[in-house]
């Protein structure tokens, strides 16, 4: 039942893995009324579409999960990446400012270059090394420039129950499908990150927004690992011994450069007294049990 005292929350990109989880979380939270805005409801790269949708719904909070997420694909299609991740973000933030709504922009660990070799704090200077990271950093900047009431939430290695439509499934699904095919699986062992479960991230966002302590936040599960360790842990939890081999970034030869170390220090949420997200291994166990792999 909709309450006039509830906050109306529009989720742009509600068809994606994080967007779907946010709708579910908000729908079960008595303080919020979610508004689902998928690609059929709003075109983030079209200013008129953005303004029409948001002015019509007049949400109190807008969470922008819309993103062009294929990291290697962004190298081949930079115009598309910037259209969604940057220009679209600017339109959304501008519309939020006009209707006095809070604007939440979901960003990435890839805004950093990975040269620090220790966890990145929110005030560390970004230096993205690929088109995806550059476009997301520019999206952050437009969000902050156009809307004073903003939250920029950077996260890392997202996976969720719905998978990632932009990537043809998440990393875990990819690993399990490769194992079933009987192929040798090679995963880079020199890129370190924190895998983050969309359930945990989605549950934390309303708590952060409710503080009205606007700014930049790092929100990931706890701990860190390499992609190879992530893959090995997936199979360990399932009791499978696959043909899994570590490789290097150079040997793997992906088109886009990746940060070698992109662990995010979740200091801002700790400073607010909010509960940090659980360890990535605990989240992974729940995900695997939920999916019945």
Note down the domain range covering 14: 7-161+195-221+264-272
**From CA 199, how far away is CA 77, in angstroms rounded?**
30
Q: What is the CATH number of the domain that holds 66?
A: 3.40.50.720
d(CA 262, CA 251): 20
Q: How many domains does the chain have?
A: 1
Amino acid 1: pLDDT: 47
In a domain, 56, yes or no: yes
Question: CA 282: distance to chain centroid?
Answer: 19
Pairing of strands 185-188, 158-159: unpaired
- Tokens representing 92 are 């959304």
Give percent above pLDDT 70 in the chain.
Answer: 96
Q: What is the DSSP string of 194-223?
A: --EEHHHHHHHHHHHHHHT--EEEE---BS
Q: Lowest mean pLDDT: which of 1-5, 46-50, 271-275, 288-292?
A: 1-5
pLDDT in tens, 68-123: 999 999 999 999 999 999 999 999 999 999 999 999 999 999 999 999 999 999 99
Phi and psi at residue 269, to the nearest 5°: -70, -35
Residue 286 lies inside a defined structural domain of this protein: no
112/108 Cα distance (integer angstroms) = 9
pLDDT digits (tens, 9 = 90+) for 228-251: 999 999 999 999 999 999 999 999
CA distance 64 to 33: 16
Strands 158-159 and 225-226: unpaired
Mean pLDDT throughout 220-225? 98
178 inside domain: no
Instruction: Answer whether residue 43 is part of any domain.
Output: yes
Structure tokens at 8: 């109306």
Positions marked catalytic: 132
Distance CA 213, CA 230 (A): 33
Question: Is 172 part of a structural domain of the chain?
Answer: no
164: pLDDT strictly greater than 80: no
C-alpha separations of 269 from 33, 154, 172, 230, 284 in Å: 24, 12, 27, 25, 22
Residue 134 lies in a domain: yes
């Amino acid at each position: 039942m909709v309450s006039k005292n509830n906050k109306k929350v529009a989720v742009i990109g509600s068809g994606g893995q994080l967007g779907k989880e946010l709708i579910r979380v908000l729908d079960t939270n008595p303080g919020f009324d979610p508004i689902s805005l998928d690609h059929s409801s709003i075109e983030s790269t079209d200013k008129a579409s953005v303004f029409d949708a948001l002015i019509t719904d007049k949400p109190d909070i807008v969470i922008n999960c819309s993103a062009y997420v294929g990291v290697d694909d962004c190298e081949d299609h930079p115009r598309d990446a910037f259209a969604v991740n940057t220009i679209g973000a600017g339109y959304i933030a501008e519309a939020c400012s006009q209707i006095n709504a809070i604007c939440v922009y979901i960003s990435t660990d890839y805004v950093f270059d990975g040269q620090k070799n220790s966890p990145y704090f929110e005030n560390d200077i970004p230096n993205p090394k690929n088109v995806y990271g550059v476009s997301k950093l520019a999206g952050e900047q437009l969000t902050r420039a156009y809307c004073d009431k903003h939250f920029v939430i950077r996260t890392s290695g997202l996976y969720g129950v719905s998978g990632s439509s932009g990537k043809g499934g998440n990393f875990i699904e990819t690993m399990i499908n490769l194992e079933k095919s009987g192929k040798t699986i090679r995963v880079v062992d020199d890129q370190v990150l924190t895998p983050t479960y969309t359930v945990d991230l989605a549950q934390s966002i309303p708590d952060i927004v409710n503080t009205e302590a606007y700014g930049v936040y790092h929100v990931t599960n706890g701990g860190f690992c390499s992609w190879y360790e992530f893959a090995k842990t997936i199979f360990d939890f399932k009791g499978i011994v696959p043909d899994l081999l570590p490789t290097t970034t150079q040997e793997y030869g992906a088109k886009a450069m990746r940060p070698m170390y992109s662990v995010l220090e979740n200091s801002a949420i700790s400073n607010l007294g909010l509960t940090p997200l659980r360890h990535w291994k605990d989240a992974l166990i729940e995900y695997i049990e939920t999916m019945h792999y």
